Structure 1
Amino acid sequence: MNLGGAIHINKPGLLLVFIVVALFLFYFFSKSADTSSAIKDEFKDSIDLSNLLIVAIKAAQNGGNEVLKTKDNLKIDSKGKTGEGINDPVTTADYNSHCAMEATLKHQYPDISIVSEENKVMCNNSIVYDYSKPNNVKIDVMDSIKPNVIKLEDITIWIDPLDATKEFTEKLYQYVTTMVCVAVKGEPIIGVIHKPFENKTYYAWVGKEERNLKVGSSDGTQTKIVVSISHRGTIEEVLKKNFKDVKVITAAGAGYKVLEVVAGNADAYVHNTVIKKWDICAGNAILNAIGGRMTTKNNAVISYFNDGHPVNTDGLIATVKEHDKYVGKI
């Protein structure tokens, strides 16, 4: 049986196949290009919050590094007196930390809205900081696959370049923190609190598992409430009047006090005088992320829009649980 023979190629048929394949490829890549262009147009003015979390952590750490570098060569000025008549200092460490934190955020997001305690300082834009990814930051794989994309116009970053400045000048370094908070449409979503003198960074993201802090619990023997050393007003007298068995703990720095509540060393952090929102935004986000709450003393939610009004005038209650226990008693 002869299986050999010539194979005859039908040239018109081959040309037809070539044309069909070419048209298909043209259609496929045209649709892909249109889709890619549409995605770029949709997200060009947006930010992926998983990336922003990483940059926020780096910003807090870069600010903390400036605090450490400046601690032994300080120039101290005064912003005036607080409402309690106490000197309100500002130092070169505050300014240097602000510039490092702002530069870190602007390096990645040039047009992002930032509110800072020291936003009037003129920074040297020629200084280059370390913008590499911070160590020991884990982002959930699913958050990378499905980015949490938010419109740029809806995001406000609140930074406190040096919380507890007065105590910093007194070398009470345990209270010092640098903080970054990401607010979306006025709601605190991501909080970062960095302790430069302990080289520890605490962060949490509302609705996500990204966090590196442990929630503790009080021993329950008595109510422990932490208040400000320098802004306490009449809070101690009020608390002892309204709670039968209460231990009042004094400490500095809003960031430090929130972390004490998270750790279970205090049941609540309360404040009955004015407080700036850059002091409390990061702590508010962290508490929200772990199921806690931060409100005014009258239980109103605190908003963090960049509206030119950075002062919370109605006191503060911050808790992990039993929040209503303190409402109306501050």
Structure 2
Amino acid sequence: MSAVTDDHALAAELAGTAGRILQGVREEIGFADSRLLKDTGDLRAHEYLMAALAERRPDDAILSEEGRASVAGKGATPPTANTADEVRLQADRVWIVDPLDGTREFSEEGRRDWAVHVALWEKGRLTAGAVALPAQGKTLVTDPAGATVVNVTGVEPLRVSEPAAGRLRIAVSRTRPPAFVQRLAETLDAKVELVPIGSAGAKISAVLLGEVDAYVHAGGQYEWDSAAPVAVALAAGAHASRIDGSEAVYNQKDPRLPDILVCHPVSASTLLTGIRDVSDALPE
């Protein structure tokens, strides 16, 4: 395989394997102690991804949610650290990963809306990415021709579908739905349904799989929450931007990236206009 094709395949492989590790952690620990389950899942998936990338892409930088100094107290042994900021910010290739997106859902028996994110940023843009949905048996992944979804029946092309006329299903947080999204729903000239879904990766995947029509979020996220899903969304023909319409920019010194909009391009103008109209409700 070419180097480019191999990056897509590697993202899918790593996300899928980390997902299987997490499924094993669920089976091993059970659901009685949610904190133990969350911490063990986070750290095992993180350590796998850090070791695999160090072996397979030793010259690339890594930014992982669990590689930050602020999470060093999760276990007796501090997690493997991210590439130092001064090195990462000068690197041409940076892997941006979330070893477990949706820890709350992961720790709740029967919930399927959690994910693993693996994305590659190169010289200013996302070039490869994979979102594994282990409990759903699916991995959404970029490829040179666009995007695909890998499941138990094989590999299928992935292309965002246009919403039905007069209807808009918007994915929102099941625990912290932004108040402004409710106001947005009331202003749109469509029948709007707010659909609670767990992790950011699961929400964006739901847009790409046609289960909802849009994901609108504001009020707190980081690069690892959206990098891989946005990479796949763009490859699948979706609109993906900040909620003011500007580009979502990655590999920054401050990894906070607090808001995102993902939808079919036909809905983007309507949603961005509606968001602007209720902007007084947005958090500072």
Instruction: Identify the TM-score tier after normalising by the shorter chain.
Output: 0.7 to 0.9
Structure-2 separation of matches of 1:164 and 1:48: 31
| Counterpart for residue 16 of structure 2 | 61
Q: TM-score, normalised by structure 2?
A: 0.78
Aligned residue runs from structure 1 range 7-156, under 5 A: 48-72=3-27, 73=29, 76-77=34-35, 90-120=38-68, 122-123=78-79, 153-156=91-94
Which secondary structure state, in structure 1, belongs to the residue aligned with residue 62 of structure 2? strand
Q: Hey, what does 1:260 align to over in structure 2?
A: 206
Taking structure 1 as the reference length, what is the TM-score of the superposition?
A: 0.68
Q: For the Cα contact (< 8 Å) 2:99–2:116, is it kept in 1?
A: yes
**Equivalence for 2:179:** 234
Using CA pairs under 8 Å that are at least 6 residues apart, name the structure with larger relative contact order, 1 or 2. 2
Check the 8 A contact 2:98/2:224 in 1, yes or no: yes
Contact 1:297/1:328 (<8 A) preserved: no
Matches of 1:115 and 1:242 in 2, distance apart? 38
Tell me, in whole angstroms, the C-alpha distance in 1 between the residues paired with 2:38 and 2:23.
15
| 1:246 matches 2:183 | no
C-alpha distance after superposition, 1:278-325 (max 9, x if no partner): 1111111112112222111100101112x3311113x22111222111
Give the superposition deviation at 1:159.
0.6
CA distance in 2, matches of 1:106, 1:49: 18
Please tell me the residue identity of whatever aligns with 2:52.
T
Residue 50 of structure 1, CA deviation: 1.9
Q: Which has the larger radius of gyration?
A: 1
Alignment match of 1:316 (pick from 253, 257, 260): 260
C-alpha contact (below 8 Å) 2:11/2:118 kept by paired residues? yes
Structure 1 residue 76, shift from structure 2 partner: 4.5
In the other structure, the counterpart of 2:169 is 224
Q: Indicate how the Cα distance of structure 1 residues 210 and 248 shifts in structure 2: closer, same or farther if over 3 A, else same.
A: closer
**SS of structure 1 residue aligned to 2:109:** coil
SS of equivalent to 2:66: coil
Residue of 76, 101, 121 corresponding to 1:183 = 121
Q: Check conservation: 1:293, 1:320, Cα contact below 8 A.
A: yes
Does the 8 Å CA contact 2:158/2:236 hold for their aligned counterparts? no
Separation in 2, partners of 1:217, 1:241:
21
Alpha-carbon distance in structure 2 between the residues aligned to 1:106 and 1:210: 26
Q: Unaligned regions of 5+ residues in structure 1, if any?
A: 1-46, 79-88, 125-151
How many residues align? The count is 244
Q: What's the CA shift for 1:164?
A: 1.0
Q: Tell me how far apart the structure 1 counterparts of residues 79 and 13 of structure 2 sit (CA, whole Å).
A: 18
Structure with greater helix share of residues: 2
> 1:275 corresponds to which letter in structure 2?
Q
What's the CA shift for 1:186? 2.9
CA distance in 2, matches of 1:223, 1:199: 26
**Matching residue within 100, 104, 129 for 1:162:** 100
Give 5+ residue unaligned stretches, structure 2.
73-77, 81-89, 150-156, 276-284
Q: Is the 8 A contact 1:277 1:304 kept in 2?
A: yes
Structure 1 counterpart SS, 2:135: coil
Compute the displacement of 1:62 (Å).
1.9
Other structure's SS at 1:326 match: helix
- 1:199 and 1:240 map into 2 onto residues whose CA distance is 32
Report what 2:84 is aligned to.
none
For 2:127 and 2:108, the matched residues in 1 are separated by 33
Identify which of 279, 294, 306 aligns with 2:240.
294
8 Å contact kept, 1:76–1:92: no
In structure 1, how many angstroms separate the alpha carbons of the residues matched to 2:25 and 2:127? 31
Specify the SS of the correspondent of 2:244.
Answer: coil
Q: Hey, what's the Cα distance between the residues in 2 that align with 1:325 and 1:221?
A: 12
C-alpha distance in structure 2 between counterparts of 1:220 and 1:288, whole Å: 23
8 Å CA contact 2:163, 2:264 repeated in 1: no
Distance 1:217 1:265 in 2: 11
Q: Structure 2: how far apart are the matches of 1:286 and 1:239? A: 26
- Superposition RMSD in Å: 2.4
